[in-house]
Structures are given as C-alpha cells and as structure tokens.
Amino acid sequence: MSINPAIASVETERSNLKIPAHIGVIMDGNGRWAQKRGLSRMEGHKAGVEAVRRAVELSIDYGVDYLTLFAFSSENWRRPPDEIKYLFGLLRRFVASDLARLIRQNVRVRIIGDRASLESGLRSIIEDVEVKTAANTGLNLLIAFNYGAKSEITAAVRALAVKVASGELDPGSIDEIALGSHLSTAGLPDPDLILRTSGEMRLSNFLLWQSAYAELVFVEENWPDFDESVFVRALKAFTERDRRFGGIGT
Ligand code: IPE
Ligand code: IPE
Ligand code: MG
C-alpha cells in the first residue's frame, strides 16, 4: 500500500500534539478585521460567528473536552448601544440557528457570566439551550457572556460571607476549593490554554482565578480569520511549553 507522504506527515504532526483538556479563547479583533475591509464593526462580529463554528468543529475533531469562548465582557457595556444590541442579537440568532446542530454534535452548552442582569428574553434563551443540551456528553462549550472575572470572584466571596454570617460556614474552612466551588466554573477543570487573537496581550478580565496556571498563547490573526492553521499553531505552542506548576519539571 502506498502512503501519500504529505498526508502521512500531517498525520504524524497531529499525533505529536498535546491536546489541552480545556481551551479558553479571547475572541478579539472583529472590529479591526471589518475596518481593514471597509466594513462595519457589525460585519466583523457576524464573520466572528463563522469562526465560532470553526472553533467548535475543530475542538470536537481534535478531542478537546472544554472550550470556553469569551463573547461579551462586563466591560463591553462601555461600547455604543447599537453595537451592544447587535452582539446580544447575535447570541440570540446563534442559538436559534445552531441549536439543532449542536445537539447533533453532542455538544453541551453552558453560559457563564452575570445573567441576572440580562433581559428576561435572553435569559430564557440561555436557559433553553442549557436544558436542551444538558444530557450531551461530547464537547463542553462554555460561552462567557456578560462575564467578568473580578465580579465573578466578588460574587463568590459574597456568597461565602453570607454563609459565614448565618453560621453555616466556619471562616477557617474557607480554602481554594471552597472559593472555586462558588465560581461559575465550579466542578469544571481549569483552562490549560488561553488563546487570544488580534495581537493583544492581556486577559481583559477573563477567567483570572481559573487561569492561574494556564499557558497563554497570543496570535496576530483577528478572530474572523481563525481557522485550522491558527488552531494547530496554538496547539504546537502549547505542546512545546514545559508546564511545571511550581515544581522543577520532568
Ligand atoms: C471581539 O472583537 C468581540 C468582542 C469583544 C465582543 P472586538 O469588537 O473587540 O474587535 P476590535 O478589538 O475592536 O478589533
Ligand atoms: C475582550 O475583548 C472581551 C471579549 C473578547 C469578549 P475586548 O476587545 O473587549 O478587550 P480590550 O478592551 O481590548 O481589553
Ligand atoms: Mg477588542
């Protein structure tokens, strides 16, 4: 049997990649992608949804267990009202158009962030997609929407304080596990890899507690240009990192 050497080397390259169990993505650069093309920022966000679909497909294909996508931050309220409205509409439309496919792909969807302050229509869409995919056992897709790590940690501290005040909890028993179990990611593994597109090198209030030991990878491409080659480049960078977790390595 003859093996096409080009295909064989792609396969070898792929089998040498370490696959993170949990990837967090700061999907940045939609506006700049659009601006470069003379399009509106909204067109950039629309193209960003296509990149979300590619990210989900690639995560399934490469065997990632958890994919967390940063879609709207608690600081994004500083944007013009029209853009905020458009981003909210996109989440709505994404759920409407993709729910059936996500179910077919065995994807479990959860939304993290402050949902209490979202309008009730959007809240019920969020609850609906979570309920309808709750029994799925494939990729865990977390969408961080109206999410900010500082307010997430603050809410966890407040919840612990309420338990202390009522006598339910002894302050001495508050440890990292107790705090972690009051975050929106309770019970989920911490991200191994945080990928940010568009060349910006900051976390912008994304998963600050959970990323304590994540490997950070920054790529120049804007989010709408995210594809398999960007994904594989990020996985290669991750594969080459020596994760020591404070120890002396292997
Ligand atoms: C990321 O793209 C999407 C969101 C933050 C909602 P941006 O809208 O931040 O794009 P740039 O950074 O302005 O290019
Ligand atoms: C981070 O991107 C938030 C999301 C990707 C949803 P931003 O574009 O809002 O971040 P900054 O303002 O450049 O830090
Ligand atoms: Mg941005």
How does DSSP assign 114-126, residue by residue?
--TTS-HHHHHHH
Ligand 2 center from residue 75 Cα (angstroms): 8
Does the domain at 19-148+190-239 match CATH 3.20.20.70? Answer given as: no
Ligand 2 center from residue 204 Cα (angstroms): 6
pLDDT of 6:
75
SS3 243: coil
Take atom 1 of ligand 2 and give the residue whose Cα is closest. Answer: 204
Ligand minimally distant from the alpha carbon of residue 36: 1
| pLDDT tens-digit map of 12-45 | 889 999 999 999 999 999 999 999 999 999 999 9
Ligand 1 environment, Cβ below 6 A: 27-32, 72, 76, 87, 198, 223
Active site residues: 28, 76
Q: What is the pTM of this model?
A: 0.96
Ligand 2: does its nearest atom lie under 6 Å from the Cβ of 73?
yes
Atom of ligand 1 at shortest range from CA of 79: 8
Q: Find residue 66's DSSP bridge partners.
A: 22, 140
SS3 46: helix
| pLDDT tens-digit map of 58-85 | 999 999 999 999 999 999 999 999 999 9
SS3 14: helix
Dihedral sign for Cα 204, 208, 210, 216, please.
positive
pLDDT of 1:
55
Confidence category of residue 2, pLDDT binned at 50, 70, 90: low
**For the residues 233-243, what does the mean pLDDT come to?**
97
Q: What tokens were used for 192?
A: 């191994």
| pLDDT tens-digit map of 136-145 | 999 999 999 9
- Check pLDDT > 90 for residue 3: no
Domain assignments of the chain as residue spans, ordered by start: 19-148+190-239
Ligand 2: which of 26, 27, 28 to mutate, judged by most atoms within 8 Å of the beta carbon? 28
For the chain, how far is it from start to end, CA to CA, in angstroms? Answer: 39
| pLDDT tens-digit map of 70-127 | 999 999 999 999 999 999 999 999 999 999 999 999 999 999 999 999 999 999 999 9
Among residues 62, 53, 29, which one has the least CA distance to residue 238? 62
